[in-house]
Chain A
Amino acid sequence: MSEAIKAINLTKAFGKFVAVDHINFEVKEGEIFGFLGPNGAGKSTTIKMLTTVLKPTEGTAIVNGYDIIKEPAKVRNSIGVVPQEFTADEDLTGWENMMLMAGLYGIKKDVAKERAKELLDMVELTQAMNRKVQTYSGGMRRRLEIAMSLISRPKILFLDEPTIGLDAQTRSAIWNYIMKLKKEYGMTIFVTTHYLEEADLYADRIAIIDHGKILAIGSPKELKESVGGDVITLNTSNDDETMKLLQNLDGIIDIRKVDNMLRIKVKDGEEMAPKILEKLIKSGVKVLKMSITEPTMDEVYMEYTGRKMRDEEADSKEVFALRRTLRRTRG
């Protein structure tokens, strides 16, 4: 068996609203599988179903060879989960939280102590382990959450937006731990994110999800190739006119307006750019800006979801979400 996870028509409806809509995918053993999508896409709902917190309304999934509906206890025994929200017990210290988790997995004290030490060391929390979690920073909390989820040496680790709201440095540190787990323990990692660069950089394969549906699955390279050709971005004095003019030009695959820019997909950017310029100048349209790019994850994302993922916006949303979490936690 080489599939760690297999989702079969997995569906979750809240009342009439379908949050996850008949999704099918497979995660191979030992790979980092990125689940990429905007806010409200259904990422957390999918994780909650795979980790047996929520019951699917339709379909099922096989996790580590066990059916999430028929054998939830066995699934739970073999997985580790880092939920999107902080779940450590605020009133306890980092160390006590680790031991609490060990108790929940039924791990005997002496083994638990050994592992807790090792894990806290890995996430560099040894110094802070006797402090109450209340006093931890966002990054420290996230690191503790990861350590907590590893105490049972799970075969599959689920991480729901592990880097949300953290600064760039902490984010890359977290990814370093994740890469280490994959390399050293051959752990399968299912991770959701809405950072395109992270998915691109670290995931072996990515699924793009929006409105509860999976729009594309593949390695970052495959996804970029699937978009095909190059992208010419234009800013002109009259975009509507430009669109009309270029619509029937040979070699143009697609043209659409995204955030006040014209995004033109072409087979060969270097060949098409002069042709486009010539046509526009002839018709009296001024070109203010022009660039040619090979497809990036941004292009991939835009191609499949029809919208742009703006990082600044995402960031401010996250910081807001994080603050809310912190505020709630601190009462």
Chain B
Amino acid sequence: MVTEIKKKEEYIDRSPLHGLWTLTNRELKKWYKSAVILLLSIIQPIFWIALFGKAMNLQALFSGTTLSIPGLNIPKNIIDKIGQEILKQTFGTTDYFSYLAAGMLSFITLFTSMQSGMSMVWDRRLGVLDRLLTTPVSRSNIIISKVLSSVIRSLVQATIVLIVAVLLGMSFYPGINIFDFLGAYAALFLMSFGLSSLFLMVAIRASSWQSQMAVMNLLNLPLLFTSNAFYPVNSMPSWLKPIAEINPLTYSNAIIRGMLLGIQTNLTIDFIYLTVFATFLSIVGIILSWKYISS
């Protein structure tokens, strides 16, 4: 008995973080083992960039046509130039495909983060949560593992979308360096952390996965279309502008485009907004979730 107790100190890890990685890893394992789910969730954004991004090739709209206005004899190179200037004015780049692809990185992150609570719904229904609650893992680690796995999943999905986009012809601004990528990922991380926490809280209170799905579907597309994912805030109707300006997607898009495409934006304001957004939602989400499973 005495030797048992002595040995125990050595093989037992009782740091406050113990179990956190075990639980996070459990989620991730299930996810990467089921390639279908992985593929299904990146199909949508890839569809957007592959079809919409290519078909709405605004540059080709001007240069690809033999546009001539009767009565005016404008040389083609001037028309091309005007077209490019218009594009630059509205989108900040002449490359609409890259513009859209950058927007889709935020979208896939949003979409994946929203699913953060789904596994919690299942864990509750199947009794796994009841078992977890009887182990020495702290309640907060149970919650944070869900958020963390969702964030990791989101960033990996975003990376896949980014790679596909590059293969399809997305191009970065010429002077791009590692810090630009870090900046872009920081934006995705912030958004994912905030949203994952929020949706975990929703899921913990939702009794079924159907209701969780309903909430997701309700918010998903509106958030996408009220952001600058497809078109810049400036060209939006005035009633939409205020909505776009509080939509976190708008800010993470701005950061990513600023970092990867070199499109002009105020990075300080963008980052401050996203940080405040993420901090607020994580605190509220994590505390309320924690309270719920602790009662």
Which residues of A are interface residues toward B (Cβ below 8 A)? 48, 51-53, 55, 73, 76-77, 79, 81, 83, 85-92, 96, 100-101, 103-108, 110-111, 148, 328-329
Q: Are B127 and A83 in contact (CB under 8 A)?
A: yes
Query: Could you tell me the distance between the alpha carbons of A77 and B138 in the complex, rounded to whole angstroms?
Result: 11
With a cutoff of 8 Å between Cβ atoms, the chain B residues found around residue A92 in the complex are: 26, 29-30
Query: Could you tell me the distance between the alpha carbons of A73 and B133 in the complex, rounded to whole angstroms?
Result: 10
Query: What 9 additional pairs, Cβ within 8 angstroms, besides A90-B126, A329-B126?
Result: A48-B130, A52-B133, A53-B130, A83-B130, A104-B23, A104-B132, A106-B14, A107-B13, A328-B125
Q: Are A106 and B18 in contact (CB under 8 A)?
A: yes
With a cutoff of 8 Å between Cβ atoms, the chain B residues found around residue A328 in the complex are: 125-126
Contact of B134 among A76, A88, A329 (CB under 8 A): A76
Q: Are B11 and A53 in contact (CB under 8 A)?
A: no
The yes or no answer to B128 lying at the interface (CB within 8 A) is: yes
Q: Are A81 and B136 in contact (CB under 8 A)?
A: no
With a cutoff of 8 Å between Cβ atoms, the chain A residues found around residue B127 in the complex are: 83, 85-87
On whether A79 and B33 interact (CB within 8 A), knowing A55-B295, A100-B26, A108-B11, the answer reads no
Query: Could you tell me the distance between the alpha carbons of A148 and B131 in the complex, rounded to whole angstroms?
Result: 10
The yes or no answer to B58 lying at the interface (CB within 8 A) is: no
On whether A107 and B12 interact (CB within 8 A), knowing A79-B134, A91-B30, A92-B29, the answer reads yes
Q: Are B135 and A89 in contact (CB under 8 A)?
A: no
**Which one of B12, B19, B131 has the greatest number of beta carbons of chain A within 10 Å?**
B131
The yes or no answer to B22 lying at the interface (CB within 8 A) is: yes
The yes or no answer to B50 lying at the interface (CB within 8 A) is: no
On whether A111 and B11 interact (CB within 8 A), knowing A83-B130, A87-B127, the answer reads yes
**Whole-angstrom distance between the Cβ of A90 and the nearest chain B Cβ:** 7
Which residue of B is nearest A109, CB measured?
B11
Complex A-B, nearest 5 residue pairs according to Cβ-Cβ distance, in ascending order: A103-B22, A87-B131, A85-B127, A106-B13, A106-B18
Which residue of A is nearest B4, CB measured?
A153
Which residue of B is nearest A329, CB measured?
B126
The yes or no answer to B288 lying at the interface (CB within 8 A) is: no
Query: Could you tell me the distance between the alpha carbons of A107 and B19 in the complex, rounded to whole angstroms?
Result: 10
With a cutoff of 8 Å between Cβ atoms, the chain B residues found around residue A96 in the complex are: 29
25 A-B pairs (CB sep. < 8 Å): A48-B130, A51-B134, A55-B295, A83-B127, A83-B134, A85-B126, A86-B127, A87-B128, A88-B128, A89-B26, A89-B128, A90-B126, A100-B22, A103-B23, A103-B25, A104-B22, A105-B135, A106-B13, A106-B15, A106-B18, A106-B136, A108-B10, A108-B12, A108-B13, A110-B11
Task: Tally A-B pairs: CB < 8 A.
Answer: 82
Query: Could you tell me the distance between the alpha carbons of A201 and B83 in the complex, rounded to whole angstroms?
Result: 89
On whether A52 and B134 interact (CB within 8 A), knowing A85-B126, A103-B22, the answer reads yes
Query: Could you tell me the distance between the alpha carbons of A110 and B11 in the complex, rounded to whole angstroms?
Result: 9
Which residue of B is nearest A158, CB measured?
B134
**Which one of B12, B23, B138 has the greatest number of beta carbons of chain A within 10 Å?**
B12
On whether A53 and B29 interact (CB within 8 A), knowing A86-B126, A103-B19, the answer reads no
The yes or no answer to B137 lying at the interface (CB within 8 A) is: yes
Which residue of B is nearest A74, CB measured?
B136
Which residue of A is nearest B131, CB measured?
A87
Q: Are B134 and A73 in contact (CB under 8 A)?
A: no
Contact of B12 among A53, A83, A86, A106 (CB under 8 A): A106
**Whole-angstrom distance between the Cβ of A142 and the nearest chain B Cβ:** 13
Which residue of A is nearest B137, CB measured?
A104
Q: Are A104 and B136 in contact (CB under 8 A)?
A: yes
With a cutoff of 8 Å between Cβ atoms, the chain A residues found around residue B135 in the complex are: 76, 101, 104-105
Which residue of B is nearest A99, CB measured?
B22
**Which residues 1-41 of B sit at the A interface, judged by CB distance below 8 A?**
10-15, 18-19, 21-23, 25-26, 29-30, 33-34
Query: Could you tell me the distance between the alpha carbons of A212 and B191 in the complex, rounded to whole angstroms?
Result: 48
Query: Could you tell me the distance between the alpha carbons of A111 and B25 in the complex, rounded to whole angstroms?
Result: 20
Which residue of A is nearest B130, CB measured?
A83
Query: Could you tell me the distance between the alpha carbons of A108 and B12 in the complex, rounded to whole angstroms?
Result: 6
**Whole-angstrom distance between the Cβ of B68 and the nearest chain A Cβ:** 62
**Whole-angstrom distance between the Cβ of A89 and the nearest chain B Cβ:** 6
Q: Are A87 and B130 in contact (CB under 8 A)?
A: yes
On whether A104 and B19 interact (CB within 8 A), knowing A76-B135, A91-B33, the answer reads yes
On whether A107 and B130 interact (CB within 8 A), knowing A55-B295, A73-B136, A76-B135, the answer reads no
**Which one of B18, B33, B127, B134 has the greatest number of beta carbons of chain A within 10 Å?**
B134
